[in-house]
Chain A
Amino acid sequence: MKIDVEHVAKLARLGLSEEEKKLFADQLSAIFEFAEMLNKLDTKNTPPTSHAIPMKNVLREDKVVPCKNVEDILANAPEEEAHMFKVPRILE
Chain B
Amino acid sequence: MHGKTAHELHSLLTNKKISALELTEAVISQIDKVESRVQAYVSINKDQAIKQAKAADERIKNNSNLTPLTGIPVAIKDNMCTKGMLTTCSSKILNNYIPPYNATIVDKIKAAGAVILGKTNMDEFAMGSSTENSGIHPTFNPWNTKTVPGGSSGGSAAAVAADEAILATGSDTGGSIRQPASFCGVVGFKPTYGRVSRYGLVAFASSLDQIGPLTKDVTDTAILMNVLAGHDPKDSTSVNLPVPDYQKALVNDVKKMKIGYIKELLGKGIDKDIKSEIQKAMKKFAELGAELIEVSLPSFEYAVATYYLIAPAEASSNLARYDGVKYGHRSKEAKDLLTMYYNTRREGFGNEVKRRIMIGTYALSAGYYDAYYLKALKVRTLIKEDFAKAFSQCDVLLSPTSPSVAFKVGEKAADPLSMYLSDIATIPVNLAGLPAISLPCGFSQGLPIGLQLVGQAFAEETVLRAAFTFEQNTDWHKQKPSL
Contacts and interface: CB of A to CB of B under 8 A. Distances in A.
A41 B457 CA distance: 26
Contact of B334 (A34, A76, A88): A88
A13 B342 contact: yes
B193 A49 contact: no
Contacts of A69: 100-101
B178 interface: no
A87 interface: yes
B343 A15 contact: yes
B236 A90 contact: no
B52 interface: no
A14 B346 contact: yes
A78 interface: yes
A84 to B, nearest CB: 11
B60 interface: no
B308 A35 contact: yes
Interface stretch (B114-122, B252-260, B371-379): B371-379
Contacts of B207: 50-52
Contact of A78 (B320, B324, B431): B324
Contacts of B359: 28, 31-32
A76 B382 contact: no
Contacts of A17: 346
Nearest to A41: B379
Task: Give the interface size bracket for B toward A.
Answer: 35 or more
B330 interface: yes
A53 B457 contact: yes
Contact of A77 (B326, B335, B340): B326
Interface in A71-90: 72-73, 75-79, 85, 87-90
Interface string A13-45: 111110010011001101110110111010100
Interface in B383-429: 384, 416-417
Given A31-B359, A41-B302, A24 B354 contact: yes
A48 B381 contact: yes
Given A8-B358, A43-B378, A46-B378, A76 B100 contact: yes
Contacts of A55: 236-237
A77 B357 CA distance: 24
A72 B84 CA distance: 8
A9 B358 contact: yes
A13 B338 CA distance: 8
B208 to A, nearest CB: 8
Counting chain B CB atoms within 10 Å of each CB, the highest count among A38, A55, A60, A72 belongs to A38
Contacts of A15: 342-343, 345-346
B443 interface: no
A58 B236 contact: yes
A34 B304 CA distance: 10
Interface residues of A, number: 51
A17 B365 CA distance: 22
A60 B361 CA distance: 32
A16 B354 contact: yes
A58 B238 CA distance: 10
A13 B344 CA distance: 9
A11 interface: yes
A72 to B, nearest CB: 4
A32 B233 contact: no
A31 B361 contact: no
Given A5-B358, A52-B384, A53-B192, A35 B309 contact: yes
A52 B100 CA distance: 31
Given A31-B308, A72-B100, A43 B358 contact: no
Interface in B236-293: 236-237, 239
B380 interface: yes
A36 B395 CA distance: 34
B327 A77 contact: yes
B432 interface: yes
B336 to A, nearest CB: 5
A66 B359 CA distance: 40
Nearest to A36: B305
Counting chain B CB atoms within 10 Å of each CB, the highest count among A20, A27, A35, A48 belongs to A35
A78 B380 CA distance: 40
A55 B299 CA distance: 24
A12 B237 contact: no
B355 interface: yes
Given A8-B358, A53-B237, A78-B330, 4 more contacts: A12-B357, A35-B309, A55-B237, A72-B98
19 contacts: A9-B358, A11-B361, A13-B323, A15-B346, A32-B359, A32-B372, A35-B305, A41-B302, A41-B379, A41-B382, A47-B381, A52-B207, A52-B457, A53-B237, A57-B236, A72-B83, A76-B98, A76-B100, A88-B335
